[in-house]
Structure 1
Amino acid sequence: MSDEIPFHIQENIIKRLPVVSLLQFRSVSKAWKSLIDSSKFIAAHSVTQAEHLLLSYEEPPQMLLSYEDPVKTETKYVLLLDDDSFPQQRFHYTLPLSIKLLKQSCIIGSSLGVLCFHCYYEEEEDFCTNLKSEMVLWNPSIRKSIDVPVPKKFNPYHESNLGFGVCPLTCDPKIVEITLFHKPRFHCEAKVYTVSSRKWRNFTSNLPSKPFRVFYPHVVVDRFIYWCAFDPMTMDNGLPNHNLIMSFDITNESFGVVDLPDSLRRHPPLQLCVSKVRESLVMLEYDSYMKGACGVWMMENGVVKSFIKLFTVEAPNWSRTIKTLGFRRSGEPIMEVEYRYDDSSEQREVVVYEPNSGRFTDLEMYGANETFSVNSYMETLVMLDRSDCNIEAEVDGF
């Protein structure tokens, strides 16, 4: 690029280039490398990429599907392009060593091109067994991962759930933990970890006004992390269910509540699940614990308690249960179906459901356990300005 072009114009042009090109252009000059590696540029480029992907139908979105290969007994990660070629174009990812070393690891969330892996394992010290937890953040586009140890000891009187998201303003990855304590009284506590600080912080304000039990999975829409939640006091006192959606604003680190229509508010809580279609919040309503049918509700224009039911998916005749893993851009759900192929064995496969025709399309991915997951994915520079390292996390209150 000519030196006669002002540098701020060069920056505006570079900001619109794909990640692969930017990684190459870092070697063009010191000025370009300094620009591309800066936190300000990384945030601006990532937001531009997200907005372009949302508004443009020319560039296909991507999704990362993981499943346990029943033959090789290993977890595979496959990148699928959500375009006319779906699902023929498949790109297999090789995990970094930091994730391979984690036993029984799984993706708990994705945001702005960063995947968050989580793993529990037992560690013996002085003849005592402690339940430990470890997390890894990985950006496949730039081949960078960061380890986040989470020291935790098992406590039968509390239950915790995690959420992960990248702040759209600063591109700082954040992990939030919500814990519901049963004794000596029902109450909630929360901690947040930020990559920029390499530290866990206890919340002292902005906590939910009432104790709520949140449960996996969560979903990130815009700047919010959402979980299904319910008031445990109603269940313990034999009152009608009080379901809701708990939100966490990644930008200002505040909690909020999304109220549900009466039919969803009173539904058995463990038969509800949050998801999203593009950048719209979706609630999944299963008919029973066996999950023979799934109703899909979408929030209208971000209005609280304004959900419309789009359609209901009935399990096919050859399947026992169904589970919605995610959605294509078109709104077609990607689903896991379970069936028996003899008197004793069970198998699961991934299919796409077409609401208009009611037809299921097999993606030819099979597993023996509930190991399938689908996460939206996009290429970004998030964490480019961070070094690959094992972070010795500081944790307030431990």
Structure 2
Amino acid sequence: MVMDGDVPYLPQEIFANILIRLPVKSLIRFQCVCKDWKNLFKTPSFIAEHARHSTQQDSVLLFKSPRYKCKPACLCLINRDMQVLEYQTPSVHSCTIGSSNGLLCLLHVWSFILWNPATREVFQVPKAPNINRNVIFYVGFGFSPVVNDYKIVTISLSRLYGDGVYLVHVFSVSTRSWKEVEGGKLKGILAFVTRGFSFDGAIFWFGTGLKGQGRSLLSFDIATESFKLIPIPSSVHVTFESRLTKYENKLALLSKTRVESTKSFFISLWVMGKCMDTSGERCIWTKIYTSNPFPDMKLSSALTIWRNEIVIVGVTEGKTVLVSCNLHTNEVKMWTIGNYSLETFFWNYAESLVSVGDIHIEASSS
């Protein structure tokens, strides 16, 4: 610390090191302290450092509440203290299709919205060409540090060109425009979980072959705008209730298998290891967990990994609860979270200063 007369002085870099650890709400309030701080909070380097620090902490968990006829849709954040915070979405009847670097992508009918809940910024994405004439099978949102860009992907079955013709449209946030890209890898593949999971610069969907080829992962590289099919071994049980997630910085798959002659389920966690070739056709999957941790509970399809625990929404004694199971100790915890629907999705979320008006994250990961 330097003394300027009787007034202590801290170097700017020390202030910056303190500020990157503060929540977005505080930083927005501190913009009025001085012009230098306001400008600092808008620099790509500060935004990136703040995002990295936010991600390293225990991420809050985001999921969607039901659409009551008398209530608008809302998003609920569960912080590390297990407090539930509600945010009303910009569009009343929208659904969340992706989360990346503190940004959410919402879909309402045929329109997409980018939204930063922490800063409350909203960007209405231009309507995709001919999207209302097609049947959408896949939709996804993600970020690539390679091209420093966020992209929205829609994969639809064309009603204009006959059966089996897929059209792929990609919206680039950096160019603010849609374009059609080649979808040759899609021939003969159908989706059965339409919302993509963004991880490591790519978007992943579950798919199934039309001629009994089995389950696969369809991967879209955000930087190169190319597709890849990754076979899923037959030993990995994949259903409509399976979910992709991240475990120890690797792509992972959670599946539910009903225990025979009962209403309870085994939950298994599979992790995809290193692929033996660039095509993705020879990837190693390892099962690292299987158990029946919630034997007496009605479980939803909302399933994820959070803080090295399996987290799921369930119902017990007529109450909607959030339950978790520690992967190492098998310890089960339960929290009553209110009257929420079982038909919901989890999204990992960490707040950020990323602006939907001028998006720039500077080599942060999704």
TM-score normalised by length of structure 1: 0.70
Deviations 1:181-238 (A, max 9, x none): 58634233210112333322111x4752634223323211121111111222x1xxxx
What letter matches 2:337 in structure 1? M
Q: Which residue of 2 aligns with 1:95?
A: 88
Q: State the one-letter code of the partner of 2:268.
A: G
Deviation at 1:335, TM superposition (A): 0.6
1:378 lines up with 2:350 in the alignment: yes
- Residue 153 (structure 1) aligned with residue 151 (structure 2): no
1:1-398 matches, within 5 Å, as 16=20, 18=22, 19-20=24-25, 22-23=27-28, 26-27=31-32, 33=38, 36-37=41-42, 41-42=43-44, 44-53=45-54, 56=56, 59-68=57-66, 73=71, 75-82=73-80, 86-87=81-82, 90=83, 92-95=85-88, 98-99=90-91, 102-103=92-93, 105-120=94-109, 133-148=110-125, 150=127, 152-153=131-132, 155=134, 158-169=135-146, 172-181=149-158, 184-203=162-181, 205=182, 207-208=184-185, 210-214=187-191, 215-232=193-210, 234=211, 239=212, 241-264=213-236, 267=237, 270=240, 272-277=242-247, 279-287=249-257, 292-300=265-273, 305-314=283-292, 316-329=294-307, 331-338=308-315, 341=318, 348-356=320-328, 358-367=330-339, 369-383=341-355, 385-386=357-358
SS in 2 for 1:150: coil
Alignment correspondent of 2:362: none
Query: How many Å separate the matches in 2 of 1:301 and 1:185?
Result: 36
How far apart are residue 164 of structure 1 and its match?
Answer: 0.7
Go from structure 1 to structure 2 and tell me whether the alpha carbon gap of 1:77 and 1:385 turns closer, same or farther (over 3 Å shift): closer
Q: 1:295 to 1:324 in 2, by over 3 A?
A: farther
Distance, in Å, in 2 between the alignment partners of 1:383 and 1:284 is 32
> Alpha-carbon deviation of 1:10?
9.1
SS at match of 2:235: helix
Find the residue that maps to 2:353 and give its secondary structure. coil
- Cα distance between partner residues in 1 of 2:312 and 2:19: 36
Shift of 1:258: 2.4
% identical equivalent positions: 23
Which blocks of at least 5 consecutive residues in structure 1 are unaligned?
Answer: 121-132, 342-346, 388-398
Secondary structure of 1:379's counterpart equals coil
| 2:290 counterpart SS class | strand
| Deviation (angstroms), 1:292 | 3.0
Counterpart-to-counterpart distance in 2, 1:118 and 1:275: 21
State the shift of 1:171 in Å. Answer: 5.1
Flag the 1:20–1:384 CA change in 2: closer, same or farther, 3 A: farther
Q: Which amino acid aligns with 2:49?
A: T
Give the distance between the partners of 1:193 and 1:230, measured in 2 at CA: 25
Shift of 1:139: 0.5
Question: How far did residue 112 of structure 1 move?
Answer: 0.4
TM-score by length of 2: 0.75
Q: Which has the larger displacement, 144-153 or 191-200?
A: 144-153
Q: Secondary structure at the match of 2:49?
A: helix
Cα shift at 1:161: 1.6
Contact 1:244/1:259, CA 8 A, preserved across alignment: yes
- For the aligned residues, what is the CA RMSD? 3.9
Provide the C-alpha distance between the structure 1 equivalents of 2:137 and 2:321, rounded to a whole number of angstroms. 30
Name the counterpart of 1:129.
none
Q: Report how far residue 15 of structure 1 moved.
A: 8.8
Decide whether aligned partners of structure 1 residues 10 and 351 sit closer, same or farther in structure 2, where only a CA change above 3 A counts. closer
Structure 1's 190 and 384: CA in aligned 2 closer, same or farther, altered over 3 A?
A: closer
Distance 1:268 1:333, change over 3 A: closer
User: Structure 2 CA distance, aligned partners of 1:29 and 1:368?
Assistant: 43
Which string of whole-angstrom CA distances, capped at 9 and with x for unpartnered residues, describes residues 111-154 of structure 1? 0000112223xxxxxxxxxxxx2222111222201122536335
What stretches of structure 2 of length at least 5 have no aligned partner? 3-9, 360-366
